[in-house]
Structure 1
Amino acid sequence: MAFKTFVFRLLSLYTITLAGSSLSLAQSSQWFHLDAKTDSVWGISTDRTYRELLNNRKPTPVIVAVIDGGIDSTHEDLKRILWTNPKEIPGNGIDDDKNGYVDDVHGWNFIGGKDGRNVQYETAEVTRQYVRLRPLYEGKKRSELKPAQQKEYDLFVKYRKDVEKKRAEYQEQYQSYSSFSNQLVTIISGLKNALGVSKLDTATLRNPATDNDFVKKAAAALYEMTAAQGFAQAEDIQDELTRGLEDLKAKAEYAYNPDFESRSIVGDNPDDLTQTNYGNPDITGPDPLHGTHVAGIIAADRTNNVGVLGVADQVKIMAIRAVPDGDERDKDVANAIRYAVNNGAQIINMSFGKDVSPQRKAVDDAMRYALSKGVLLVHAAGNDNKLLDTTASFPADRFMDGSAIPNLITVGAVTAKNDEHLVASFSNYGRKTVDVFAPGMSIYSTTPKNGYDNLSGTSMAAPVVTGIAAVLKSYFPKLTYADLKRIIEKSAVVQNRKVLRPESDELVDFTELSKTGAIVNLYEAVKLAQAEEAASAEKKG
């Protein structure tokens, strides 16, 4: 979730009345696996699907590529399901399979150097474009330029304004939210002392053991804040704020800082799109939180009786590091897609995006290449509560020539609340641009160092859909990318109801927010796949 949205929601929760049933389900450790009919929450019915529909079918392994910021390859819930390059000998410094990448045992890192260093922070694309144009137009007047240069000069002025505005905004937000975070820490510490407890879970906050009215009111307010976010304890809010503050600081110090440069670590020419064999085999990187969480949603080990359960049970995760803390580069995304396709990925999860794409053609060409090889792409819609029908966002839902991308599914996020708050307030949406919605709020999954935590975003909704696609491909291996997309969309459950438009008080029909007006469901998808399989067999027989 966008951190600004998260904090604003916390600050406004004192006036929100919440339904008890929705809260209890939101706190379920993995509510997205639950079933709408039996649990009254719009999960994808994972457990019911395995229990009722798939128990007599034999799955086949499916390779799913996760293009992200890195994956903790040692995690107890992920190490067994990592893809291993069968033709590569680990650590021998030789490109054994001759694919252009040395020691790519579990994937590849396109934002690392051959010396083993890695990019963690990166500038926003708008900052990079401003820096590119600055030597050409700084100090110039538009009237002095040739007509052919004036259009580019206008872009320079726009980029400069955007960079300066964004940097100032993030610096101000960091200061403001730091103050709020400090106050929250003080409140949590004070309540712990007053109640004599070591942690403030929702049960303690709902029924505090005290006669002090002030403590009761403080506990009630903190309970609303905690429960509304789907957290189990107040300390989870504190952790979320800490992560959010780190993100704000990174944006203020790096993303919109025109004097920051990290690409030299990689050692390539970022403008040379013909370069493909740069990087290193470190698939973890300095901060694998996001990618580790995404991988766990798709395929956390369902057989080891520890931690959490992924959606799919026969997946091998190929880790491709191409997304830093900042905007990913088009060159890296294009090469990551091609690497995934060339090394056998059948589905690619892409939980990233940005507003400017100067090398868009390279990404388009890579997606066309994936299309030619029958690979399905699943993309997060984004967390800016924007109407994508009228707002630029990349990778886009269409090719540059305006034609639809047949092998792409774009995913928005829903919450565990079975009411007008169903759509996540941060989610992007669009009747022409977003295909489906999936659970994306307070999703409990794997985090680095054998950890587990709730994270929110369309970044979490996309891997839910990727997991569904992987289950379908695993249990019905003859399905093509087109079949997978069609079945997922056709089986999604249409929501004929009024919901709040993201980050708005306006009630709209859910059907106005995406092409299908529906939330994905694994049970319905498998049921449809079975019906089509039976119909095909009957026709042939």
Structure 2
Amino acid sequence: MRVNKLTSLIAVALLPLCSVAQPKEKPVPNWQNLDLQSDGVFGISTEKAYSLLKGKKSQPVTVAVIDGGVQTDHPDLKAVIWTNPKEIPGNGKDDDKNGYADDVHGWNFIGSAKGNVQWDNLEIARQVRIYKPKFESVLPTTPLSAEERKQFLRYRIFMTEYMNKLQNAQYGQEYYHTLKRYTDSITRKIARPVLTMEDLDKYKPANDMESKTIKVIKAALKKDPDYKAFDEDMNEGLKYYDTQISYHLNLDFDPRSIVGDNYENNKEKYYGNGDVAGPDADHGSHVAGIIGAVRDNNVGVKGVADNVRIMSVRTVPDGDERDKDVANAIRYAADNGAKVINMSFGKSFSPFKGLVDSAIRYAAAKDVLLIHAAGNDGENTDKIPNFPNRNYGDSVGVTMGSVAPWIEVGASGWKNDEDLVADFSNYGKKSVDVFAPGVKINSTIPNSLYKEHDGTSMASPVVAGLAALIRSYYPALSAIQVKDIIMRSVTKVDHKVKVKNAGKLDFSEVCLSGGVVNAYNALQLAASTKADASSAAVIE
């Protein structure tokens, strides 16, 4: 989860955090499901699409949310949560003999009877911890075998990346602690818990740091006059960088003992517990609501699909997910009836990519459609890969092919202008398939609440919801056919868009389809598509 940008106290440059594409404006509620022509926002026309479905029958479709956990009793989610029909809750037994005792609503691969993993390292920190004892004292001139030389070069790459992240985190931590300290001081002196622009104009700074702090607060209030939003952004920034230093990049922190598995054994599958919410279900609950929050209860928000069952497979901590857990989560979802898997996570290194690739191909062979978030680094993933991805390789990393029923999703905003591509979104002419709404998306969060989040993490479940909607009303269509329908039915974008670090590009340069997904077009196309058994081929 990324946090909003704030102007730096220490430097003119902004911190490398995720920002909202149109900070001065807010979209109308439910914008992601609205129609560009009739509603004036670049949603996916979900509400319009339901006019095509009146009187049609549907069947429930299980969507696995591989994420950080889901609040299963949220008022807008509890009616759509998947329940294992063969499992008796709370008896401590594996009633259905699938290897997972009490997997009533899914499974948690990052927990055990001891408790649950909440924080973990970034993958880069785990790799440095592995290689550092062997190579930290090695010089470029030290005699090494060919294999050792390869490992040493890998270690130097990892170490450079790690140190860059650590220095950025230290800078960010110092910045936010300084901002917090002086903001609190100014607030106490003004004696008002909620500051206004008028308060700040009247206040006489006691020193240079207070003057700079006031400039930061004013800049934020010009974008959004709600001081509480500024205070929340500041506290989120503080928490984000403190977490990076304490957990994500801390080489002395390793929580895997909580899980209790043999981490070196990649063939091990049966570990974890049945707690599918975990200690922080914010991200996963938000994703689940985008996919399938109850549409007709006059409560909260509307999901894309109206007949889904959300299976929570808790795999992603606050930090980077581990390849072993991802592979097992995909296999669990496929084995237990999921026809769509949403994966709103990713990382820049995948040490056991072959293990994950094998699981992806296993799910594809079971006619599962996999939807994955492209990532929030503003990078071209044609050049800088994000993992997991559809490509699989041999033992030395050479790409041998790709899995067909896979959709990679970038994030778009609500305005059909040059800012359509969210400024944080990854993109790629070959590696990203489609774009979908991912800015200021309101959805379900823990404690039965709702909140707006930004990210390709939000765009991916929009597409997963669309895939589930198609598979629900047209169940004879294969995963590959559903992907083809989604790709061919996009709303094409015929103007240039601003892309971070790349200037203005044609939309065909940022994704394979050249457009934003459209539910109305997709359902029209699905209605005229005949089921094709030959489309079961899953490898391209």
**2:460 equivalent to 1:458:** no
Q: Is the 8 A contact 1:2 1:426 kept in 2?
A: no
Q: 1:444 to 1:48 in 2, by over 3 A?
A: same
Q: Matched residues in 2 for 1:188 and 1:503: separation?
A: 38
- The counterpart of 1:265, out of the listed 258, 269, 276, is 258
Q: Is the 8 A contact 1:68 1:323 kept in 2?
A: yes
Query: Displacement of 1:250 after TM fit?
Result: 1.3
Q: Matched residues in 1 for 2:341 and 2:93: separation?
A: 27
Q: Is the 8 A contact 2:375 2:426 kept in 1?
A: yes
- The counterpart of 2:333, out of the listed 340, 359, 367, is 340
Query: Displacement of 1:468 after TM fit?
Result: 0.5
Q: Is the 8 A contact 2:62 2:310 kept in 1?
A: yes
Q: 1:334 to 1:414 in 2, by over 3 A?
A: same
Secondary structure class of the residue paired with 2:391: coil
Secondary structure class of the residue paired with 2:367: coil
CA shift digits 1:400-445 (9 cap, x unpaired): 2331220110000011222211110000000010000000011100
Q: Which residue of 2 aligns with 1:380?
A: 373
Q: 1:154 to 1:127 in 2, by over 3 A?
A: same
Q: Which residue of 2 aligns with 1:498?
A: 496
Q: 1:22 to 1:106 in 2, by over 3 A?
A: same
Q: Which residue of 1 aligns with 2:527?
A: 530
Task: Specify the code of the residue in structure 1 equivalent to 2:375.
Answer: G
Secondary structure class of the residue paired with 2:468: helix
CA shift digits 1:77-119 (9 cap, x unpaired): 111111000000000010000000000000000000233x110
Task: Specify the code of the residue in structure 1 equivalent to 2:173.
Answer: Y
Q: Which residue of 2 aligns with 1:41?
A: 41
Q: Matched residues in 2 for 1:404 and 1:534: separation?
A: 23
Give aligned pairs, total: 506
Q: 1:441 to 1:387 in 2, by over 3 A?
A: same
CA shift digits 1:230-252 (9 cap, x unpaired): xxx45234334433432222112
Secondary structure class of the residue paired with 1:38: helix
Task: Specify the code of the residue in structure 2 equivalent to 1:247.
Answer: Y
Q: Matched residues in 1 for 2:191 and 2:475: separation?
A: 54
**2:352 equivalent to 1:362:** no
Q: Matched residues in 2 for 1:447 and 1:97: separation?
A: 31
What TM-score, normalized by structure 1, do the two folds share? Answer: 0.87
Q: 1:252 to 1:80 in 2, by over 3 A?
A: same
Q: 1:431 to 1:73 in 2, by over 3 A?
A: same
Query: Displacement of 1:503 after TM fit?
Result: 5.4
Task: Specify the code of the residue in structure 2 equivalent to 1:339.
Answer: Y
Q: Is the 8 A contact 2:176 2:237 kept in 1?
A: no
CA shift digits 1:40-78 (9 cap, x unpaired): 21101121221x211221111000000001111121111
Q: Which residue of 1 aligns with 2:420?
A: 422
**2:514 equivalent to 1:517:** yes
What TM-score, normalized by structure 2, do the two folds share? Answer: 0.87
CA shift digits 1:461-497 (9 cap, x unpaired): 0000000001111111111101110011100111011
Task: Specify the code of the residue in structure 1 equivalent to 2:159.
Answer: R
Q: Which residue of 1 aligns with 2:138?
A: 140
Query: Displacement of 1:303 after TM fit?
Result: 2.7
Q: Matched residues in 2 for 1:120 and 1:145: separation?
A: 39
- The counterpart of 1:315, out of the listed 302, 308, 317, is 308
Secondary structure class of the residue paired with 1:65: strand
Query: Displacement of 1:214 after TM fit?
Result: 7.0
Q: Which residue of 2 aligns with 1:538?
A: none
Task: Specify the code of the residue in structure 2 equivalent to 1:410.
Answer: E
Give the gaps of 5 or more residues in structure 2.
Answer: 15-21, 204-214, 394-398, 533-540
Q: Matched residues in 1 for 2:274 and 2:454: separation?
A: 29
Q: Matched residues in 2 for 1:509 and 1:186: separation?
A: 48
Task: Specify the code of the residue in structure 2 equivalent to 1:418.
Answer: N
Q: 1:9 to 1:525 in 2, by over 3 A?
A: farther
Q: Matched residues in 2 for 1:212 and 1:396: separation?
A: 49
Q: Matched residues in 2 for 1:65 and 1:534: separation?
A: 23
Query: What is the root-mean-square deviation in Å for CA atoms of aligned residues?
Result: 2.9
Query: Displacement of 1:185 after TM fit?
Result: 7.2
Give the gaps of 5 or more residues in structure 1.
Answer: 14-20, 228-232, 536-541
Q: Which residue of 2 aligns with 1:477?
A: 475
- The counterpart of 1:410, out of the listed 408, 411, 427, is 408
Residue identity over aligned pairs, in percent, reads: 45
- The counterpart of 1:130, out of the listed 113, 128, 131, is 128
Structure 1, 465-474 or 177-186: larger mean CA deviation: 177-186
Secondary structure class of the residue paired with 2:444: strand
Q: 1:179 to 1:55 in 2, by over 3 A?
A: farther
